[in-house]
Structures are given as structure tokens and as C-alpha cells.
Structure 1
């Protein structure tokens, strides 16, 4: 997911995206805890996507 794609979305869409990413992160953490997660790089990708969404939401709130 690119930041330019996120900047074109509305705040409601961004909050829904953030919620789904947080759910995915929780699911991946549970899979890692039970040793069912084979591709651990997915955790890093989801964390970075969450950070991107939060950054864009902050930019929109600041009026940029």
C-alpha cells in the first residue's frame, strides 16, 4: 500500500483501513505465538502499513 493511495481516501475509509490492519496484526501475532506463522515478514509489512495510515490521518487532521 502506497501513501499516495492513502492520501486519496477519505477519513472514514482510512479509519476502516486502520481497523482492518489492526485486526490483521492481532491475527498475525496470535499465529506467531502458536508457531503457526511461517512468513514472519508479514508482521513487519502490516506494522508499516499501520504507520502509513496513521501518518496520513494525522496529516489530514493537521490540514495539510
Structure 2
């Protein structure tokens, strides 16, 4: 998801996107460690998506543990 689309989301959806991106990165890292991951570029793009979502959340002053 690009930055413009993330900025258009409301606060609850941004937090949901952060949590989803964290789960995705964890799953990809696990697959990479066990040798099951075929597309290693997906790990890099997932990390970048997580960073974008975290940036938007921090700019808004959101904490993923307290809301939604």
C-alpha cells in the first residue's frame, strides 16, 4: 500500500494495517529462515510497507496497543 492510500485511511484502519503488516513480515521471516520462501524480494517490500504504516501512525500520534 502506498503512502497516499495510508494517509487517506482513518486511525483505526491505520492501526489495523500496522498489525497486518507486522504479521506478514513475521510470516515471511519465518518462511525465509526455514527455507520455504521463494520470493525473497517480498520480504523487503513487506518491511517497507510496515515502515510506511508505522510512519503514518506515529505522525498521527497513534499507539497500536491502546486503540482498535
Q: Quick check: TM above 0.5?
A: yes
Equivalent residue number for residue 49 of structure 1 = 49
Q: CA–CA distance in 2 between the matches of 1:54 and 1:34?
A: 27
Q: Unpaired segments of 5 or more residues in structure 1?
A: none
- 1:12 is displaced (CA, Å) by 0.8
CA distance in 1, matches of 2:2, 2:52: 8
List runs of 5+ in structure 2 lacking aligned partners: 62-68
Q: Name the structure where helix makes up a greater proportion of residues.
A: 1
Partner of 1:31: 31
Q: Aligned-pair distance for 1:57?
A: 1.1
Where do 4+ consecutive residues of structure 1 move more than 6 Å?
A: none
Matched residues, number? 61
What is the aligned-residue RMSD (CA, Å)?
0.8
Q: Please, what TM-score do these two structures have when normalized by structure 1?
A: 0.89
- 1:2 corresponds in structure 2 to 2
Q: Which residue of 2 aligns with 1:13?
A: 13
